[in-house]
Chain A
Amino acid sequence: MKAMKSSRFWVVGSLVALCASGASANDELIKLSKDPNQWVMPTGNYANTRYSELNKINKENVKNLRPLWTFSTGVLRGHEGGPLVIGDVMYVATPFPNNVFALDLNHSGQILWKYEPKQDPTVIPVMCCDTVNRGVAYGDGKIILEQADTTVVALDAKTGKEVWSVKNGDPKKGETMTNAPMVVKDKVIVGISGGEFGVPGHVTAYNLKDGSKAWRAYSVGPDDQILVDANTTELGKPVGKDSSLKTWQGDQWKVGGGDTWGWYSYDPQLNLIYYGSGNPSTWNPVQRPGDNKWSMTIFARNPDTGVAKWVFQMTPHDEWDYDGVNEMILADLNVKGQPVKALVHFDRNGFAYTLNRETGALLVAEKYDPKVNWATRVDMQTGRPELVKQYSTQAGGEDHNTKQVCPAALGTKDQQPAAFSPKTGLFYVPTNHVCMDYEPFKVSYTAGQPYVGATLSMYPPQGDNHLGNFIAWDARSGKIIWSDPEPFSVWSGALATAGDVVFYGTLEGYLKAVDMQTGKELYRFKTPSGIIGNVNTYTHGGKQYIAVLSGVGGWAGIGMAAGLTKDTDGLGAVGAYKALANYTQLGGVLTVFGLPE
């Protein structure tokens, strides 16, 4: 064990030395992300598979798992994201005020340093969906944090001292940040939040060394802002000039949204980063005629220049707030007998897409919850969903309550990331099972104020009394393989391991382990508060650990805390309209699990 520890130090130390000599930080990260003993980036690896080769904890012994140590973050808001483990240090980021802790795994998690930014608390009410933070990134000896107030700060990983700091936006205009940055080569990629405040979305690259701005790519607007060129294609065809502007009326594009608050992935061979854009503003579709490109779009961009190689818009002229920001999982799959460098994306709109990540070709698009009803299918030639008029809020119009639309605005899945196992070739997906009534109305724009323009009532699909499912999905054929119902939406990020176990957390606070083949529950433990964080794994001293943050909140804490609406008959005592507040309270605790000695 000692030999392993010191050899790992040696590896990290020598890589740091390499960096100092000018080699790419990217190589270090690629190497570190392949080491299953560490968890070097929020997504686990650049492909966003959330898969670990570790198998000391496996389906035979996971029933003996137990909590081994805990750490209170001192903050009582929704805890999304999860800890990094690099060498013998664990890094934990909290919701607002966005404290960062470096914990010494060699000395019982003692705090090596903490960073406590001073932010103006008036940013809090400008965050639509709780003051969450999805985690810090590591690169070139620095820990990078996206603060709520749009400050991006790089801290020395050893001391926590600020190395550089830049401002990425302006909360007075409704701009905030919640997502996890990604370090790609010599750059830090960050997003922006504010789709409910009319904030124009963009992805920005800052130079890792000194925080100077390298490029910024908007989701909506003129070609020189959205960084497309003559070679940018959608489904193989060049998008052409003014591809975004042509799909908006008047100046509406200026408050068009398309925010970028989700997860990023990267293919080092193809040299492309992938991410999705959020909803167009407002939620009232009548106020923004046109396809509203490039909201609800998957982007493949060159990380050096920001220029888009290909794009694919999933929900043209959105009428339901089905943000396209969920993770883009990169997996090499056999689709219809052909090996493909695939990209798999579980969209808010209820369709799971499989694309060729090199060309942007669409291969599969199927519903990953059978109750999805706003579209019958996706046309595989045009990529466009075929709408069902009854569930179209545009067709229903302003001041008309369009009813029984599935999924609800929070989607069949929100940002909570899925996992992929190369062993089974399947995806393990935390889902929501909720429908809605949605009524648009006219609103006007004021900078820094909500620009929503729709009312919403949410409830489970007719006949069901559960609000979530954890499923196994085959992205080659577009089929659900197994499905575990959950009383509440599954709002945590999943983890798949070579031990044939899949982990996820529930809104009541359970950490669960299930059999990868069958979905059968093998272990559960109720942590101090509902889990909306992502389950990670690492080793220390040769032993495997499972780590997850508890702390209920996020959009689940808004929409489900007091129970959902519509006291409908016939649902019985275990009826759907139970309130999350009956099961859990606020918290902020990291729990680390392991097998007994």
Chain B
Amino acid sequence: MRAGIRTRVPAFLWGKMVRVLLLSLLTVATLAVGTDLVLAAEAEKAEKPYKITDGKVDKKTFNGWRRYTESCLRCHGPDGAGSSYAPSLVDSAKRMSQDEFNEIVINGRTNVSAASENVMPPFGTVEDVVSYLDDIWAYLTARADGALGRGRPPRIGE
């Protein structure tokens, strides 16, 4: 074979091919974007661990607030807002992934130095906390997203 064979496309077919090609590309692109949008929407819905309807929260998120108050408030203040000596978990939820959050809650974190005596205890063996990590995360994420304000969240059905 001779190198550099050029396939000769008849001129009338060339235009048609381009049009078909463009149309296919457009279709594929549209399909791709459309799928992306659908996937993104589903992903967004799937990503939110909380459900809020008319300002009222689902059972999981309410339970997160309750468990937070029982086990976390005494250091981190009411509604995840922070105290004079422990950080705002609303801020933490903005910057952390759920995995990072879980790791700290389960294993604890110590920050002891000349100017600081902050100890986050490990809750890995505390049933009341570790069984409800998802719920607590749901509540804090709702707060971090600005979807939920301060105070006791009203429950769906209340």
Contacts and interface: CB of A to CB of B under 8 A. Distances in A.
Contacts of B126: 446, 449
Shortest beta-carbon contacts, A-B, top 7: A557-B84, A562-B81, A565-B151, A125-B121, A565-B150, A124-B119, A455-B69
B70 A453 contact: yes
B151 A566 contact: yes
Interface string A30-42: 0000000000000
Interface string A105-146: 000000000000000011011101111000000000000000
Interface in B113-146: 114-121, 126-128
Given A455-B70, A557-B84, 11 more contacts: A76-B117, A121-B117, A124-B118, A439-B152, A450-B70, A455-B152, A456-B73, A558-B78, A562-B82, A565-B151, A580-B84
B78 A456 contact: yes
Contact of B115 (A76, A129, A455, A567): A76
Interface string B9-24: 0000000000000000
* Residue of A122, A455, A552, A580 most packed against chain B (CB within 10 A): A455
B48 to A, nearest CB: 23
B150 A446 contact: no
A290 interface: no
B71 interface: yes
Interface of B: 65-66, 69-71, 73-75, 77-79, 81-85, 88, 110, 112, 114-121, 126-128, 149-152
Contacts of B65: 455
A563 B84 CA distance: 11
Nearest to A552: B84
Contacts of A437: 151-152
A559 B78 contact: yes
B138 to A, nearest CB: 16
A562 B75 CA distance: 12
Interface of A: 74-78, 96-97, 121-122, 124-126, 128-131, 196, 401, 437, 439, 441, 443-444, 446, 449-450, 452-453, 455-458, 552-553, 557-559, 561-567, 580-581, 586
Nearest to B68: A455
Where chain B touches its partner, the secondary structure class is mixed
A567 B77 contact: no
B83 A558 contact: yes
A534 B110 CA distance: 31
Contacts of B128: 443-444, 446, 449
A562 B117 contact: no
Contacts of A75: 117
B75 A558 contact: yes
B84 A581 contact: yes
A562 B88 contact: yes
Nearest to A283: B70
A561 B5 CA distance: 79
Contact of A565 (B78, B85, B110, B115): B78
Nearest to B88: A562
B85 A130 contact: yes
B84 A122 contact: no
Nearest to B73: A558
B63 to A, nearest CB: 10
Contacts of A562: 77-79, 81-83, 88
A100 B88 CA distance: 31
B17 to A, nearest CB: 64
